[in-house]
Amino acid sequence: MTKEIENINQVIETYFKAHIDTSIVPVKELMQEFIAAGVFKKDVKNGKPIRDVLKQLNKSNELAQIPYAHAIQNGDDTYWYFVPKDAERPTQLYKQEPVSKERLELENKRLLSDKYYVMNLCDEALKLKAKRQKRFDFLVGDLHKDGKTRTQLPVDAFYHDLNLVIEFKEAPLAEPTEFFNKLNVKTVSGISRSKQREKYDRVKATELPQNGIKLIEIPYSVFICDELNRIVRDHEQDLKRVTDFLKPEQYTTKIDSVE
């Protein structure tokens, strides 16, 4: 149970770091996150696996082991939520805003994507938790239409203790999306979306090392893939592949950290 609780806390912490404007979330909403992280194999009755864990801890007066957990009693019913560690605990039932089907589909696709899977393997191989979608002041994209501002480019995973960025290099159109399939759509800088992605990859490869941050790119070819270039998942073998690819000399020498 100790390892399971540790993994649960890691998933919740990662969720709130990625959703900084969220102050409360029903526990069932994180089930796909838990499944993707290997905490649970599948969902049952809309969040029952995580509710069972919380109920068991609550019964043994050990709920504090998951500091994000919060329960609201309404008659004979108990409603379970997660809130950030330092957030104010609500006393009334949380009224959940409706989430569009399209948003749910996009979120589920992200959680089940090869990139998310590989980044989880990297966390496991390095025995560290990366900050996903980390942005740096010096890592920026093309000018916006106003001719003044630029968007900071996110990286797949940043390991602060190692000053290391890891990027997963997917096969071309391995997981096509409507947005990036519009290859003829030009950006403000006059190039297509696909060319812009290639350009930003080159920017990262140049700017990260110049600013003292190591960069390791893991290509999809490290794994066994199907005819659509999606990873044929075998956790044990894939973890070994990632561990072998991440040679210690690539990341063990710590450089002055960049905030």
8 A C-beta contact, residue 125 and residue 243: yes
Question: At which of 99, 125, 155 does a domain end?
Answer: 99
CB 150 within 8 A of CB 196: no
- Which of 44, 77, 99 is the last residue before a domain boundary? 99
Question: Domain tally for the chain?
Answer: 2
Average confidence (pLDDT) over 50-76: 90
Q: Does residue 120 sit in the same domain as residue 57? A: no
**Residue 120 shares a structural domain with residue 220:** yes
The average pLDDT across 33-39 equals 90
Q: Confidence band (pLDDT; 50, 70, 90) for 216? A: very high
What is the rounded CA–CA span in Å between residue 83 and residue 86?
8
Residue 6 included in any domain: yes
Residue 105: inside a domain, yes or no?
A: no
Q: Does residue 127 share a domain with residue 54?
A: no
Q: Give the pLDDT score at 249.
A: 76
The continuous run of DSSP H or E covering 184 comes out as none
Range of the domain at 88: 2-99
Is 106 part of any domain?
Answer: no
User: Looking at residues 42-65, what average pLDDT do you find?
Assistant: 92
Residues 80, 168, single domain; the answer is: no
Do 214 and 129 fall into the same domain? yes
* pLDDT confidence bin for 101, thresholds 50/70/90: low
Domain end (from 99, 121, 142): 99
In a domain, 163, yes or no: yes
pLDDT computed for residue 89 by the predictor:
74
Convert the pLDDT of each residue in 154-186 to its tens digit. Answer: 999 999 999 999 999 988 754 444 444 444 555
Task: State whether 217 and 90 are in the same domain.
Answer: no
- Of 12-26, 113-127, 201-215, the range with the lowest mean pLDDT is 12-26
10 & 91 share domain: yes
* pTM of the predicted protein model: 0.56
Domain assignment of residue 259, yes or no: no
Question: Is there a single domain that holds both residue 86 and residue 118?
Answer: no
CB 80 within 8 A of CB 26: yes
**Residue 192 shares a structural domain with residue 218:** yes
- Does 226 share its domain with 171? yes
Give the pLDDT mean for 145-162: 86
In this prediction, residues 239-252 reach a mean pLDDT of 88
- Going through the chain in order, the beta strands assigned E by DSSP cover 25-26, 69-74, 77-82, 131-143, 150-159, 164-169, 214-219
CA–CA dist 202, 72 (Å, integer): 50
> 11 and 87, same structural domain?
yes
Q: CA–CA separation, 75 vs 33, rounded Å?
A: 30
pLDDT at 190 over 70: no
Of 63 and 98, the one with more pLDDT: 63
What pLDDT, on a 0 to 100 scale, did the predictor assign at position 16? 87
